[in-house]
Amino acid sequence: MAVAELKCPVLPLASGCSIPVLGLGTSHQGGYSHDAVVHAIQSCGIRHIDTARRYGCESLLQKAIKESGVKREDIWLTTKLWPSDYGYENTKKACLESCERLGVECLGLCRSIGVSNFLISHLEQLKEDCVITPHVNQVEYHPFQRPQELVDYCRRRDIVFEGYCPLAKGEALTHPSIIQLSKKYGRTPAQICIRWSIQNGIVTIPKSTKAERIEENCKVFDFTIAEDDVEVLNGLHDGRHVSWDPSLVVFCILI
Ligand SMILES: NC(=O)c1ccc[n+]([C@@H]2O[C@H](COP(=O)([O-])OP(=O)(O)OC[C@H]3O[C@@H](n4cnc5c(N)ncnc54)[C@H](OP(=O)(O)O)[C@@H]3O)[C@@H](O)[C@H]2O)c1
C-alpha cells in the first residue's frame, strides 16, 4: 500500500487543530511491535497514534516515529496521563515527562485537551470545575457498545467523540451479522467495524501489532456501508464492555 492511497479525512476540534479520523492504537496488552508501527506510518499512511503513559511504549514510539522518517508535525499523537497525575502541577510535570519519552517538544504543551471514559455525569461535573471544555472524549465504541446519548451530548458541546476498541478486542469479528455484511461488501469483518464507526462520525483507533492487519484496517476509505446496513450494525448494541465500565468511576482524566 502506498502512502498516497490512505485518504484519511480529519475532523476539526474546538482547539483549532484537526484530528485524523483513523488512528493506530497501542497498548500494554497484547504486546508492541516496532516494525508494525514503522510500517503503519511509513507504508500505510497512518498519521495518528494513540498511546498512554500506562501503556509503557512512549519511548518505543519515539524510535518508531524517528525511523519512519515522517516529520513530527505531520503526526497526531495522543497520550494519556494517569489518575495519580491529577492536579495542575502534577499534570504539567507528567505531560513534560511524556513529551520527553516520546521525544517531542510538545503535545503543545498540549495543543488539544482530551478526557477519557467520561460519561455525561463526569462531563457535567467538569463543567463546574473547569473553564475549558475538553476537545476530545475517548470512550469505548464498537457494535456492542454504542453510547449514543453520550455521543449526542458530546456533539452538542463540540467535543469530538473518539472510539476505542473498535473491534471489541476481536469479539466483533465473529458475530454472524458482521460476517454476513463482510461477505456482502467483500470486506473483512474488521474493515466493516472500522468503516461503520467512522461513518457514524467517530474518530477510530484500532490496534494491531501485525503489519498486514494494519494495512487491512486502513483500507476503509474506498467503500460505503449503506444506511440500512449501518442500522443493522447500530442494532447490535447490547451495552457490553470489553475494556471496563466507567460508570463505576467517580472521576478520571486524559492529557
Ligand atoms: N482510554 C482507554 O481507557 C482505552 C482502553 C482500551 C483501549 N484504548 C485504546 O484503543 C486502542 C484499541 O483498543 P484495543 O486494542 O483494546 O481493541 P481493538 O482495537 O478493538 O482490538 C485489538 C485486537 O484485535 C486484533 N486485531 C486488530 N486488527 C485485526 C484484524 N484486522 N483482524 C483480526 N484481528 C485484528 C488485535 O490483535 P493483533 O495485535 O494480534 O493484530 C488485538 O487483539 C488501544 O490500542 C488503545 O490505544 C484506550
Domains assigned to the chain? 20-248 (3.20.20.100)
32 given a catalytic annotation: no
User: Given 55, 86, 164, 185, which residue is catalytic?
Assistant: 55
Task: Determine the distance separating the centroid of ligand 1 and the alpha carbon of 139, expressed in angstroms.
Answer: 13
pLDDT in tens, 189-218: 999 999 999 999 999 999 999 999 999 999
pLDDT in tens, 105-141: 876 878 999 999 999 999 999 999 889 999 999 999 9
H or E element at residue 136: strand 136-140
246 CB under 6 A from ligand 1?
A: no
Whether pLDDT at 253 is above 60 = no
- Could you give the 3-state DSSP secondary structure of residue 110? strand
Q: What integer pLDDT is reported at residue 83 of this predicted model?
A: 87
- Could you give the 3-state DSSP secondary structure of residue 142? strand
Distance CA 49, CA 26 (A): 8
Q: What integer pLDDT is reported at residue 254 of this predicted model?
A: 47
Task: Determine the distance separating the centroid of ligand 1 and the alpha carbon of 38, expressed in angstroms.
Answer: 17
- For the entire predicted model, the pTM comes to 0.96
Distance CA 26, CA 21 (A): 16
| Owner of C-alpha cell 457490553 | 240
With a CB cutoff of 8 Å and minimum separation 6, the contacts of 220 are: 22, 191, 194, 195, 198
Whether pLDDT at 252 is above 90 = no
